Amino acid sequence: MYYNKVEICGVNTAKLPLLSDTEKRSLLLRAQAGDNTARDELIYGNLRLVLSIIQRFSGRRESLDDLFQVGCIGLIKAIDNFNTELDVKFSTYAVPMIIGEVKRYLRDNTSLRISRSLRDLAYRALQARDALTRDTGREPSVAEISESLGEEKKEVERALEAIVEPVSLYDSVYGEGEDSVYVIDQIEGGETDEDWVESIALKDALARLNERERHILLMRFYRGKTQMEIAEEIGISQAQVSRLEKGALGKIRKML
């Protein structure tokens, strides 16, 4: 599987940097003023985001290197089109742009035959979606896309559904052999795109904590350990664990 792959397209993903929101904004302003060095730094500093997104599509038997390159195209489009005057975080704008680029790539490589008129409407809908995303800083609803095209909502929905690559209920999401988890196993959870974007934001926030803070939160909320058990394991007092936990949660709230 892909999760253990460190080098993608010649990039060592284990050493990718993380940029703060302040650094991103500064680089965005410089890049949009024509500073190519800042643009390159901004692209490199957001490759972790691309990596997080393409792992969602890892069960489609596509080359991870190809998906990574396509995701980078979406990232570059987001950088070039982001409106710094809007009160929107760059990652909030970039995520749907990257997802859209990957979905477009998968759609164009599908083996299904779709009528020309339906495909044309789908392409127009995707272009309208990208334009509305640039203007508003968020991904528009189907109703908004339909209104901008002057088309019936049901027709736009049908066109967009027609170009979505079909996925088997028994496609592997992750794991191998008897330990594989399949699409059908994930249906009950009903995770939305919004939930998934929040998950990416949370992972990004956790990555910015120091090692001790991150370790404490993982043991507390993912392994279900008490503060006393954590204190005994890492050799500090329960009061120190409580203080560190409270401080780490406060940092995450600010970052989110």
With bands split at pLDDT 50, 70 and 90, how would you rate the model's confidence at 147?
Answer: very high
pLDDT band at residue 187 under the 50/70/90 scheme? very low
Confidence band, pLDDT 50/70/90 cuts, at residue 229: confident
Average pLDDT, integer, range 164-185: 45
pLDDT bin (cut points 50, 70, 90) of residue 51 is confident
Confidence of residue 230 (pLDDT cuts 50, 70, 90): confident
pLDDT at 183 over 50: no
pLDDT band for position 185 (50/70/90)?
Answer: very low
Q: What is the pLDDT of residues 208-226, one digit of tens each?
A: 788 888 888 888 777 777 7
Highest mean pLDDT among 60-69, 129-138, 180-189: 129-138
Q: 58: pLDDT confidence band, cut at 50, 70 and 90?
A: low
Looking at residue 182, what is its pLDDT? 44
- Residue 109 banded pLDDT, cuts 50, 70, 90: low
- Dump the DSSP string for the chain: --TT--EETTEEGGG-----HHHHHHHHHHHHTT-HHHHHHHHHHTHHHHHHHHGGGGGG---HHHHHHHHHHHHHHHHHH--TTSS--HHHHHHHHHHHHHHHHHHHT------HHHHHHHHHHHHHHHHHHHHHSSPPPHHHHHHHHT--HHHHHHHHHHTSPP--TT-EEE--GGG-EEHHHHGGG---HHHHHHHHHHHHHHHTS-HHHHHHHIIIIIS---HHHHHHHHTS-HHHHHHHHHHHHHHHHHH-
What's the pLDDT score for residue 9?
64
Least confident of 26-35, 76-85, 86-95, 192-201: 192-201
- Judge whether residue 5 has pLDDT over 80: no
